[in-house]
């Protein structure tokens, strides 16, 4: 800011000089004009011309001076702006200087506190030195007590160095070996069983696939035999509805046995349930599905009209019997739909019921006579099945149950393997913890041995050995420890000699 003051004054002086110059020119012009009037009119024109030129020159200089004044004013404004910036910077510097002053005061107070702390530490050090001298005296007193406890010290050392550590280490190795063996042997056995189970499962699945293909090939023969038996029995039992129902249930039982499902496990017959109206519902067969689902099979199908269709001798009688057969089948579909098995408590059935037609030919003729019969049954949540279609459906369900059982075994094996892995990981953690404790014990043992032997001639072990020179003893100290103490003494003497 002080450097800008001379510049400002210089600018002011320049502006003042320009103004004075303009005034001088103006006065000179007036004087020259007056002289021109006095000199006469003859030279007036020439002088006027000269004065005009001078006036123009003065005007030009005035314009230049005005431009300079404007430039000086701009410089003055810039100088004022710089002055304000410098003033603000000076204020900031003043604030920073005050902060530094505060910090300097804090540092001085910290220095004073440190000096006071140093005085306290010096006093404490003196007190510690006095305490150390007292402890040294106490140690000398304890050394005298060691002469009286030489036998007990030797026994304690032997128990610590030779017996306890060796016994515990040997016991730990034995226990670790036994525990690790006891853990790994079941693991090996279970892994072997797991591999055998996987191999057996794969072989069983391949064998079952082959059997399924073979059974599909023989399905036509079985259906043909069932159809022939059904026709013969229908002819033998014509007109007896109860006998026809029992025979239909017998055919259904034979299909169930051929499916591979197990009675009492995958399916139940003649189970009884209470409906919402207080009555009893007895589905012919309930087939259990994986994931707690059931499917109901109804076999109470009348075949009287179909028997007349088979026994008819002309086309008209045969057409009438076939129409009655389709009507009977539709009537049974409507009656079965009204039973509403889905609303029965304790029965987890699907949204549809299987209506079993025990004669394959009766099923086929009904489908030929009324192509909308199957869609009508589906609209009532009922699916029409013949012995062949029911057998294929039941064998598919049996295959699903085999897959479910294999999955359950695989899940159980995986669960046991996971538990075995977790237990093994816990045992490894315990073994690592025990190893860490043994390392600490070994380090403590080595530290105790060093404390006995270190110090050269002044070591505890050599001082205890010197007791044997004062009084007769019955047992010698271990030679290995004495050799270590002697080696320590030799090393200490060798280091002390060059130092002197």
Q: What is the pLDDT of residues 28-82, one digit of tens each?
A: 666 666 665 555 555 666 767 777 777 777 778 777 777 777 787 787 788 778 7
Q: Is 119 exposed, middle or buried (0-12, 13-18, 19+ CB in 10 A)?
A: exposed
**Longest Cα–Cα distance in the chain:** 174
Count of beta carbons in the 10 Å neighbourhood of residue 448? 13
pLDDT in tens, 391-445: 988 888 888 888 888 888 877 777 877 777 777 777 777 777 887 888 888 888 7
385 phi, psi to nearest 5 deg: -135, 145
Bridge partners for 268 per DSSP: 286
- In 25-49, which positions are buried (b, 16+ CB within 10 angstroms) versus exposed (e)? beeeeeeeeeebeeeeeeebeebee
Q: Write the DSSP symbol of residue 289.
A: E
Bridge partners for 267 per DSSP: 263, 287
- What radius of gyration do the chain's Cα atoms show? 61
383 phi, psi to nearest 5 deg: -115, 125
Half-sphere exposure of 252 (CA within 13 A, CB side): 27
Residue 297: band (very low, low, confident or very high) from pLDDT cuts 50, 70, 90? confident
- Assigned token pair, 392: 């294929």
The rounded percent of the chain whose pLDDT value lies above 70 is: 52
Q: Write the DSSP symbol of residue 349.
A: B
Identify the weakest region by mean pLDDT among 145-149, 319-323, 337-341, 362-366. 145-149
- Assigned token pair, 339: 């039973």
The angle subtended at Cα 408 by Cα 402 and Cα 414, nearest 5°, is: 135
Residue 186: band (very low, low, confident or very high) from pLDDT cuts 50, 70, 90? low
Contact indicator for 427, 179 with CB cutoff of 8 Å: yes
- What is the per-residue DSSP string for 454-474? TTGGG-HHHHHHHHHHHS--S
């Amino acid at each position: 800011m002080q450097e800008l003051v001379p510049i400002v004054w210089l600018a002011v002086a320049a502006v003042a000089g320009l103004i004075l110059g303009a005034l001088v020119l103006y006065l000179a012009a007036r004087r020259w004009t007056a002289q021109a009037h006095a000199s006469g009119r003859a030279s007036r024109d020439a002088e006027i011309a000269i004065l005009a030129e001078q006036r123009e020159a003065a005007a030009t200089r005035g314009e230049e001076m005005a431009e300079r004044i404007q430039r000086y004013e701009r410089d003055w404004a810039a100088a004022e702006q710089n002055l304000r910036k410098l003033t603000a910077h000076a204020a900031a510097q003043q604030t920073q200087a005050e902060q530094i002053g505060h910090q300097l005061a804090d540092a001085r107070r910290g220095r004073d506190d440190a000096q006071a702390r140093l005085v306290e530490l010096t006093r404490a050090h003196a007190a510690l030195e006095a305490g150390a001298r007292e402890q040294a005296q106490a140690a000398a007193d304890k050394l005298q007590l060691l002469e009286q406890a030489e036998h007990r010290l030797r026994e304690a050392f032997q128990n610590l160095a030779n017996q306890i550590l060796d016994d515990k280490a040997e016991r730990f190795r034995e226990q670790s070996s036994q525990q690790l063996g006891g853990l790994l042997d079941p693991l090996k056995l279970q892994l072997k069983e797991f591999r055998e189970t996987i191999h057996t499962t794969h072989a069983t699945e391949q064998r079952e696939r082959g059997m399924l293909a073979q059974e599909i090939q023989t399905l036509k023969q079985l259906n043909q035999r069932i159809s022939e038996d059904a026709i013969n029995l229908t002819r033998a039992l014509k007109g007896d509805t109860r006998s026809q129902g029992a025979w239909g249930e017998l055919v259904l039982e034979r299909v169930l046995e051929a499916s591979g499902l197990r009675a009492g496990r995958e399916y139940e017959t003649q189970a009884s349930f209470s409906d919402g109206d207080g009555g009893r519902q007895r589905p012919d067969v309930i087939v259990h599905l994986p994931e707690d689902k059931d499917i109901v099979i109804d076999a109470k199908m009348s075949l009287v009209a179909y028997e007349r269709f088979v026994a008819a001798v002309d086309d008209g009688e045969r057409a009438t019997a076939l129409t009655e057969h389709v009507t009977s089948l539709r009537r049974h579909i409507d009656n079965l739909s009204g039973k509403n098995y889905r609303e029965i408590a304790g029965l987890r059935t699907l949204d549809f019921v299987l209506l079993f037609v025990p004669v394959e030919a009766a099923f086929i003729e009904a489908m030929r006579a009324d192509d909308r019969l199957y869609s009508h049954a589906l609209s009532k949540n009922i699916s029409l099945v013949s012995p062949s279609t029911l057998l294929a459906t039941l064998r598919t369900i049996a295959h699903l149950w085999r897959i479910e059982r294999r999955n359950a075994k695989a899940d159980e094996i995986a669960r046991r393997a996971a538990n075995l892995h977790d237990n093994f990981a816990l045992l490894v953690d315990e073994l690592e913890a025990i190893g860490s404790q043994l390392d600490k014990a070994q380090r403590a043992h080595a530290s105790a041995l060093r404390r006995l032997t270190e110090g050269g001639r002044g070591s505890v072990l050599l001082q205890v050995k010197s007791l044997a020179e004062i009084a007769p003893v019955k047992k010698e100290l271990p030679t290995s420890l004495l050799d270590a103490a002697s080696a320590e003494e030799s090393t200490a003497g060798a280091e002390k000699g060059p130092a002197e």
